[in-house]
Structure formats: C-alpha cells, structure tokens
Chains A and B, each alone.
Chain A
C-alpha cells in the first residue's frame, strides 16, 4: 500500500535497530506522550526489538482516559433529562463515572448516540429541533478544530438546541506540569506527530529551552518511531537537548494556520481538570464570550458527588509514575470487558494496550 509500506520496511527497520544499539550506551527512559504511540510500540513488536536499557513510559495522551469523573457524571446526569440527546465519540460510552456510565444509561433508556465526526452532532441537532442535544466534546488539539467548526457553524445557522460539554485538553502545558512535578525521571520525549500537524513545533520549545531535555515530534509508522527513538538516543549520547521534527513530511513549525484560526475563533485558552493530574492551568479551552450560551454546563441538572475507585491507579499511570502492571486491579477485576478505570476503556488507553499485548 502506497505511503504505508514504505514506512514498514523490514530491512530499514532492522538497520535502525542496529543504529540505536550502536549509539545508545546507557539506560534511558523515554516518554511516549500519546496513546497512539503506545499502541504502535506494541502492535509492531517494537518494544521487544529495542535494547533492554531503552525504557518506554506511557504518558497522558489518551483523551478518554484524562476526562475527569466530574464530566462523565455530568454527562450521565444530562442523559437522564427527558428529551435530551447525548452525542459522543464511541469510546466514551463505556467509561465508568462515579456510579454509572453512559452505556448503562443507554440501556436504561437514555438517548445516547455514537458519532464519528463533530459535524454529526450538528446534524442530529438539525434533525431534532424539539430536543436538546449535548455533544460531549473531548479530544486534544487534533480534534479541537472540528469541534470549533461545529460550534461556529451552530451559531451561524442559529441552531439553538445544540450544547457542548467541553472537556477538551491541550498537550504542551501538561508536559510542563509533569516536568515541574519532578515525580519521574524522563530523559526524552516522543511527541505526537498529529498534534503538531495542527499546532506546529513551537509550543514544545520549552522542553529543551527550560528543562534541557531532548524531544522529537514523531510519526506513527514503525520506521517513524524507530527513527524518532534513534534521534532521541543520539541527542542523549551527544548531551544535546533540542526539539527536533522526525515527522517532517507532515509537520511544519507553524502547524496548520487554518485549523489554529478556527480553534482561536471559537475558544480561548483556559485551565482544565485532568483525571489523575488535577487542575492544570492553560491546558484546555473555554468558550469565547459570544458562544458561551452553547455551554452544556449551563443546563441545570443534579449531579452526584464524584468519587474514584479507591484501588484504581489510572491517575498515576497517566503521569507515567506507575505502569498498569503495578496496579492490583490490572487483570484482576479490571479488564476491557469490565473496566474499572478509563485507561482500560479506550483502545489507546495504557491499561487496555498492556492488557491486549502483554
């Protein structure tokens, strides 16, 4: 397959492994921030190909996993409101809240619909003018432009019945928080290529300039990943700390200006609540003044007090402090069929990935 097979070539892959082995002399810990990378490392068998002293730590880059219980509980409460439709991305269906999940509410008769594009929420609202429609808007910078377009379009078309339960997140500030917390030793970052397709490389400059750590914006094919690891290993050995772009065929320094301008038109930067990491300044989006009437948090419902499962380590797993195998619930009560924490739900959640491949 064109543009795929070139990046899965066995000989080149083996060559890159040799180069990593040749250059990397001491134990290093690399954080792959994004769940898509975690899956790719396992799926292509890359973890087993790397030298044993290259340790990979999974980061917080799974949008379902970092959505706080508070927001899931609010969605659950909203779904119980008569005549209200909840539109969600599929993974959110099974994420357990404090006492319920949207899947359970659907079985109880809640009108909850899975969509694959933000614009479908708009369509549901158009087709159901007599009902309130709430779009549970989660995602990172990769999804935000589409959410912004749906929001702006609803305003333009005077669609009054569509509300946004905004739980979007931004990656760069979260990395800063992880580094400031100093709870984990990280020698370099494998940064998600698709996020930088939107935001460019500039927002990550601080990793090298302020924290003196190497970082490589990396694609998702096996050769991309191996090259990314090699670039990090080389920087570490040469005692350099720069921000480099491996995924040059897609990522530009300035990102995608059209997408950025759409986000900017709809949202302003704001703090956000992350599961496991708490409130992080400048890590999310708030509505622009003219669009605040579309905020689903304005809808009045009674929400149960949020609580976490006491044994669940998702919070620490999202920060890379613990691995899924450190959790006493992992494979013992918590499984993809019966998830206790969100990291076991999403296809790109760290626990679900470990469960599937380990």
Chain B
C-alpha cells in the first residue's frame, strides 16, 4: 500500500480492491458488509422506520475531541435518535482528495469503528471516490442511517404545546469553538474538546422514563437559537428562555467575547433540546443528569401561547430580546 491515496485508488481497479480489503474492511467488518455484494441485505426490525442522511466537510478533519469520522457517525446516529429511532445501519461514502495520507485515513477509520461500536450500529455499505487535488479538501464523508422507531413514541417539532418546558442537555458551543481553535490564525490555548458524541443511549433512557416527550432536536449548525426558532415556527407557539440558565463553559464564553460570537448560535454535535409536558420536566431532568451525556442539563425555558413563531430571551441583566435564527453570519466549515 502506498503512503498516499492516489487517483487510481478510486478507479475501481486493483488499487480500489486493495484499499477496501486492506484498509476499510479490517475496521468495518460485520456480517452485513462482508459479502461485498452491490447492496447489503438487512433485517427488518418491524414497525415504522427512520431514514436520514448527512454530508461532512469539516475543516480541519482532526480537531480536539474528534475528527470527521466520529462526526459523520455521531451526526447521523443523532438525527435518527431525535425522532425516537434506535439506530441500526449506516452507509458510509468517502470523497477523498488525492494525496491524503493513508495514515490519516486509518485514523478516521479507527474513530468510525469506535463510534459505531459505542452506539451499536453497523456500517453495512459504502463507496469511495478519489478526486483530483483541489477538487475536494482532504476528505469529505457522507453517511446515511436507518433505525426503527420505538413503539408508542411520536417526536416532532410540530408537537410543542403551551406550558411545555424546554430542556437542554449540557454546555453550548464546545464543538464549534474546538474546531475554530484549530484554524489558522486562531491558535487558542486551552483544553476545550468538541462535544461530538452519539446521543442514542441518552435518548433511550429519556424515552423509557418519559415517553410523553414531545420533541427532541440536536442544535447543530445555527445553534440553540436556530433550533428553538424552528420548533416555534413548526408548532406555531412562542418560546421564552432564560439566559442565566443556559450552560456555557468559561472557555467558550471567553472566546465568544473575544471574537464577537454568541454561544446561542454556535454548533454542537453532542447536545439535545427536549420539549416535554410541564409535569414531566423534573423527572426528565433527573434522568438526563444521571447520564454521562446530560450531567449539565438544565430546564432553560418554556413554551408560551403569546408571540407564536418567535423565541425570546430574558437576558442576564433583566432585559428582554428577540432571539432570531442565524442570519448572514460568516462561519467557517464546522461540520
């Protein structure tokens, strides 16, 4: 095997064969992918199925707390989890810029293997293309995922009702700031890590304890503010949140102050927002706090009848303002 990925590795010929056999399969081996037929044969688990896809172009591909591989697995697992599905199968496609080192590709595969194992999903099919230098930036990934929705669970952004509580599973902005910190010109010191993680287990525990949860969302690009706006619009309700109750780490706050960013708009890759009936909020919060992915969870606000489609924020000094969707800001590629 050469040390760099060449155009010929994507040609479909012998080098492609070697790449799949020597690099990919040892990390992804499972009974579904093994025969290497044109499609994987899957086993239905009954009931309604969830299906989702996402592409990953993060720059740089390695960042504190994760890399593009972990992100691609967790991102799709989390999208499945947010509709109450148990994630089962993933597809995985690589678009590789020629010249990527095989060592880097292996590192990405290690974390794909580890993250999928952690969440109990199998990568059952995949594809590799290699493009000329400059036609892609090192490595782009696409994953699609299939899961089966738990019985009796119906989660949707359409479900929020007046009086419901809004819960957030932990600190905002860790992912975006961790990625930013690695970019040229922003070499911050500190030990901040991306929060990139599969949320499937946390969601399982939450739904087991409180099947009446109305809506789950992971606030990725556009951050908490954008996610809440989407829910407010879909459910035609207002949402009021309390700035003081929103967990943000000191490091993230500091960097936000320095760069003029607002943590409420920063991307997260291992956090969720839950909307639940008021009577369930306390129990749900307890379940979240007892889980490693939800230690810093908080009830951050409530759903109102007034101002449908709008989100407002009570500021720390006792003021009040509208919290709009992310608009027009220039963000680097973060996922």
Contacts and interface: CB of A to CB of B under 8 A. Distances in A.
Interface of A: 1, 4, 8-10, 13-14, 17, 42-49, 90-91, 93-94, 114, 116-117, 120, 222-223, 335-337, 339, 345, 347, 352, 355-358
A333 B186 CA distance: 35
B185 A4 contact: no
B1 interface: no
Given A4-B257, A120-B185, A13 B328 contact: no
Contacts of B320: 45, 48
A336 B327 CA distance: 6
Interface stretch (B138-146, B275-283, B310-318): B310-318
A120 B186 CA distance: 12
Nearest to A114: B330
Nearest to B313: A45
Q: Which 3 A-B pairs have the closest CB atoms?
A: A45-B319, A336-B328, A13-B317
A223 B315 CA distance: 13
A87 B313 CA distance: 37
A355 B327 contact: yes
Interface string B17-35: 0000000000000000000
Contacts of B322: 356-358
Contact of B185 (A1, A47, A117, A223): A117
A93 B330 contact: yes
A10 B316 contact: yes
B318 A1 contact: no
Contacts of A48: 319-321
Contact of B253 (A1, A339, A358): A1
B324 interface: yes
B37 interface: no
Contacts of B317: 8-10, 13-14, 44-46, 49, 222-223
Interface string B167-186: 00000000000000000011
A44 B315 contact: yes
Contacts of A358: 322
Contacts of A9: 317
A1 B254 contact: yes
B260 interface: yes
Given A116-B185, A337-B328, A14 B318 contact: yes
A342 to B, nearest CB: 13
Contact of B250 (A1, A94, A357): A1
Contacts of A345: 328
Contacts of A17: 318
Contact of A335 (B186, B250, B262, B327): B327
Contacts of B43: none
A42 B321 contact: yes
Interface of B: 185-186, 250, 253-254, 257, 260, 262, 313-322, 324, 327-330
Given A347-B260, A357-B324, A90 B319 contact: no
B254 A356 contact: no
A211 B297 CA distance: 55
Nearest to A91: B330
B57 to A, nearest CB: 18
A107 B253 CA distance: 34
A4 B258 CA distance: 11
Contact of B327 (A8, A91, A337): A337
A337 B253 CA distance: 26
Contacts of A47: 319
Given A10-B317, A42-B321, A355-B324, 20 more contacts: A4-B257, A13-B317, A14-B318, A44-B315, A44-B316, A44-B317, A44-B321, A45-B314, A45-B318, A45-B321, A46-B319, A47-B319, A48-B320, A48-B321, A90-B330, A120-B185, A336-B327, A337-B327, A356-B322, A357-B322
Most buried by B among A1, A47, A93, A352: A1
A8 B319 CA distance: 11
A43 B321 contact: yes
Contacts of B262: 43
A347 B319 CA distance: 21
A357 B327 contact: no
Contacts of B319: 44-49, 222
B318 A13 contact: yes
Contacts of A335: 327-328
A140 to B, nearest CB: 16
Nearest to B185: A116
A46 B319 CA distance: 6
A347 B327 contact: no
B285 to A, nearest CB: 24
Contact of A352 (B257, B316, B328): B328
7 contacts: A1-B250, A13-B318, A43-B262, A116-B186, A335-B327, A336-B327, A337-B328
